[in-house]
Chain A
């Protein structure tokens, strides 16, 4: 277990006050914060659970519905609604319901779930118990990406603490209801973040997404009704129960309620995690909180929601960071990973690197994704290496509509985002590459000569 504070930034001036409530990152950075004693004494730990267990399960779901909480994993789906899709016949014994926590966190530019897992595991555990009560699940799984081995020990210790206190196990707090949580370690595949791929992986299979329907709420893990939620989504549940759904809905903007942890990385002075009410403008995060460009050069492009999100150029830097506005402006809120690129970044190289990622992580089930990503990669390589032709740009533009929305899962769409948006917004850089056989913007080496690309 780590005994040295990590160098990530978790806070800023004014954080924890009225304007910027601290609901998800309480005590982050403090090495003892993961312990149950700290959680109970300092952060109102397990009070929400005691409250929830006195309520009818459906009333708990209604409280979450009232909060209008939307999933923080990528798609922004209403959590309360998702929970209500689980079969209601709670007496039917043939159903073992499962609640699965998605801790795969593989989206490049995203590093928020690990902060919750490392510093507030009990908040996640409490959220899972409340969710499991609402849906009357018997077993919960926390699926961690394989690289999070270093987190596993702490998480297991936290789970044991919860068991010792009677929050997990049999007859929880005298209700007669049993629930326990198991951890499961993935083995290095980004696609296992997709919920049905995750379920396959959890069953010990190749992490290939399933075709839907049936949705996990009908046929999920081990053939049983299952709900999959992101770490941050589940960790928000105790807060909602504690303050009340209606009160939580007052944070942020209508339809985009609550706070969200934004991860900002790349060319900013203070990269790190910033928990902000939804709807906070991007440029406020970029300049006021993260300190603006770290290189002294102007910021050219920002990816607002993890590698899958199409990029913004300067005219969209005022975009409010909620779920709906980035979408209306042609990008998406995604996982909340904000990647910042300054003027010296060669967009062609950046897009090539992202496309290589998607081509590598494609599970290979759908032809458009498997072949299309590799095709885009080859065209981009050609351009990057000074062997491009002008027709290649049209070729690229003609490929993306043949991939997006024609695949089993959203990875195909995700791979098209960076290519499409950069062609639209930075076409001159591609043309420069083709005509002059070198980068339009120089100063950062993004691709290693020894690397495979």
Chain B
């Protein structure tokens, strides 16, 4: 029998990427300004597309790398460098889930729990990962700042799922207990290699 879920059945947690509640503020980053390299990169980007607005997404990726996550300052900086309205950049940054609006751990572990992966045990994998690294899905980084866990939607790897993504890298293989241990150990040692390399 499937046990009734704990905590309280109708408890409504807020997903990490959910809109801000009234009065709630986005966390601010330590950095307030883009590095000169990032600024230059964004400026060259703007010339690449038929319209500089099109550089918004790529520019936000660059800012995310620079700042660690897309903080409000990051958005304002992107708007300033591109010369587009701040509101536009804010709207775009909050629309897309790959722009992290809150700090994430050094290793951001994302588990696809959509149907194909769920049928192959994604729920258990997610629970196991959360327990092992001491970070709850969507709840921000673990105490040591090493880990954060997120539940994500289909990663287009449904045949070999459940599918795990570490930072930008899709882990293209069925992840069982042993593989998970190996992977986490490699991260802890600091010699994690993207899958397939």
Contact = CB atoms under 8 A, between A and B. Distances in A.
Interface of A: 1-4, 6-9, 96, 105-111, 113-114, 139, 145-150, 182, 184-190, 201-208, 221-222, 263-267, 271-273, 303, 307, 337, 339-341, 345-346, 350, 353-354, 357, 360-361, 363, 381-382, 385-387, 437-439, 442, 444-452
B119 A267 contact: yes
A452 B115 CA distance: 15
Contact of B196 (A2, A114, A184, A206): A2
Contact of A265 (B1, B95, B98, B116): B116
Interface string B1-45: 110111001100111000000000000000000000000000000
With most chain A CB atoms within 10 A of its CB, the pick from B113, B114, B173 is B114
Interface of B: 1-2, 4-6, 9-10, 13-15, 48-51, 53-58, 60-61, 88, 91-92, 95-99, 113-116, 118-124, 126-127, 130, 136-138, 151-161, 165, 168-170, 172-174, 194-197
Contact of A439 (B2, B54, B151, B161): B2
B154 A109 contact: yes
Nearest to B124: A445
Contacts of A111: 156-159
Given A108-B114, A187-B98, A387 B10 contact: yes
A206 B55 CA distance: 13
A385 B97 contact: no
Contacts of A206: 91-92, 95
A303 B118 CA distance: 14
A307 B117 CA distance: 12
Question: Which 3 A-B pairs have CB atoms at the shortest separation, nearest pair first?
Answer: A2-B196, A187-B96, A188-B98
Given A111-B159, A190-B154, A205-B56, 19 more contacts: A6-B172, A106-B156, A113-B156, A150-B170, A187-B60, A187-B96, A188-B98, A201-B57, A204-B53, A264-B159, A271-B159, A307-B115, A350-B115, A448-B124, A448-B126, A449-B123, A450-B130, A451-B113, A452-B151
Contacts of B2: 346, 438-439, 442, 445
Contact of A4 (B115, B121, B168, B196): B196
Nearest to A341: B119
B1 A203 contact: no
B104 to A, nearest CB: 13
20 contacts: A3-B196, A7-B173, A107-B154, A108-B153, A111-B156, A114-B157, A146-B96, A150-B168, A185-B58, A204-B92, A265-B120, A271-B158, A341-B119, A350-B118, A357-B153, A439-B1, A448-B126, A451-B113, A451-B126, A452-B13
Contact of A360 (B15, B99, B169): B15
Contact of B155 (A139, A147, A187): A147
With most chain A CB atoms within 10 A of its CB, the pick from B96, B157, B158, B169 is B158
Contacts of B92: 204-206
Contacts of B165: 147
B130 to A, nearest CB: 5
B90 to A, nearest CB: 10
With most chain A CB atoms within 10 A of its CB, the pick from B115, B151, B161, B195 is B115
Contacts of B56: 204-205
Contacts of A146: 96, 98
Contact of B127 (A203, A265, A449): A449
B103 to A, nearest CB: 17
B98 A382 contact: no
A385 B9 contact: yes
B5 A447 contact: yes
Given A109-B154, A382-B10, A438-B1, A452 B159 contact: no
A184 B92 CA distance: 15
Contacts of B173: 6-7
Nearest to A354: B115
Contacts of B157: 8, 111, 114
A2 B116 contact: no
Contacts of B172: 6-8
Contacts of A266: 115-116, 119-120
A307 B114 contact: yes
Contacts of A445: 2, 121, 123-124
Contacts of B124: 445, 448
Contacts of A188: 96-99, 152
B1 to A, nearest CB: 6
B51 A222 contact: yes
Contacts of B50: 96, 139, 221-222
Contacts of B5: 385, 447, 449
Given A207-B96, A222-B50, A353 B114 contact: yes
